Homo-oligomer: A and B are copies of this chain.
């Protein structure tokens, strides 16, 4: 079993209004950062999962995103996966 670290970025779909992003953009502008736009705020999740192959790890990450981690109706997600070496007591 290899351990895989998944880094998942969740954002609202482009068509969904992101009021938090608008607020942060205004706050940045008020602080003098007027060269900033297109601010979007989302969620970031990282986790480690134990799977036999990268393909199985990917399938599971997709499934978890669809079932629990994101709301596919209004959110998009992207993830990166990398093998990590971990010491595990029991497994």
Contacts and interface: CB of A to CB of B under 8 A. Distances in A.
Interface of A: 1, 7, 9-11, 21, 24-25, 27-28, 31, 33, 35-51, 60, 64, 67-69
Residue among A1, A27, A36, A44 with max Cβ neighbours from chain B (10 Å): A44
Q: Please tell me how many copies of the chain the complex holds.
A: 2
Contacts of A42: 43-46
7 contacts: A24-B68, A25-B47, A35-B51, A36-B47, A36-B49, A38-B47, A39-B47
Contact of A49 (B35, B46, B60): B35
A44 B47 contact: no
B7 A68 contact: no
